[in-house]
Amino acid sequence: MSLLTSNPANSQQSRLQVEAALSNMAREFRNFVSDVDDLMKATNNLTGEELNKAKVKLEQRISTARRSVEELGGTIADRARKTAVSADNYVHEQPWTAIGAGAGIGLVVGYLLTRR
């Protein structure tokens, strides 16, 4: 039983959740930038009530973008916690395998660093 295959369904689901959150965040950011750009162009000719409406719209967009960032942060934090728990369980169940993997990675990194 390896760390990566200990529970492939949960791993795949977490990966899909993070990818969906990142996709939503990227889309939200593009929309936000587009709205801010449109508002900046429009504010040159706005006065009084129109300027207040533009300000309210911008505040709404900022609030929406902030919520999206918070949701993405929560999704990433949840996945990091699950990964840490999984890694901890694996190391406790397979200590010699984990030590061997760490030593092997250390050797490869050391070899690559000394070649430079």
To the question of pTM greater than 0.75 for the whole model, the response is no
Choose the weakest-confidence range: 9-23, 29-43, 46-60, 74-88: 9-23
Q: What angle is formed at CA 55 by the lines to CA 53 and CA 59, rounded to 5 degrees?
A: 115
Residue 65 has what pLDDT?
76
Domain ranges of the chain: 8-115
